[in-house]
């Protein structure tokens, strides 16, 4: 079972991109990461 690099949970599907430094994140962590990126763009 694949493990999320951030929360260490076992998940069925992992996501990665340049924002995660190409580490495998679960959907929850991946979504959260991009949520903060989006919020930063809005506030600044
Ligand atoms: Zn996770
Ligand atoms: Zn990304």
Ligand 1 geometric centre to CA of 4 (Å)? 5
Q: State the ligand closest to the CA atom of 8.
A: 1
Give the chain's largest Cα–Cα span.
39
Given a contact cutoff of 8 angstroms between Cβ atoms, the answer to whether 5 and 26 are in contact is: no
The rounded Å distance from CA 39 to ligand 1 centre is 19
Q: What is the pLDDT of residues 10-36, one digit of tens each?
A: 999 999 999 999 999 999 999 999 999
Q: What ranges make up the beta strands (E) of 1-44? A: none
Q: What local confidence, expressed as pLDDT, does residue 34 receive?
A: 95
Q: What is the pLDDT of residue 42?
A: 76
C-alpha span between 4 and 11 (Å, rounded): 7
> CA 34 to CA 8: how far, in whole Å?
18
Q: How far is the CA of 44 from the centre of ligand 1 (A)?
A: 27
């Amino acid at each position: 079972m694949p493990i999320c690099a951030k929360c260490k949970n076992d998940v069925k599907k992992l996501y990665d991109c340049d924002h995660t430094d190409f580490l495998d994140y679960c959907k929850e962590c991946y979504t959260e990461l991009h949520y903060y990126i989006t919020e930063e763009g809005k506030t600044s």
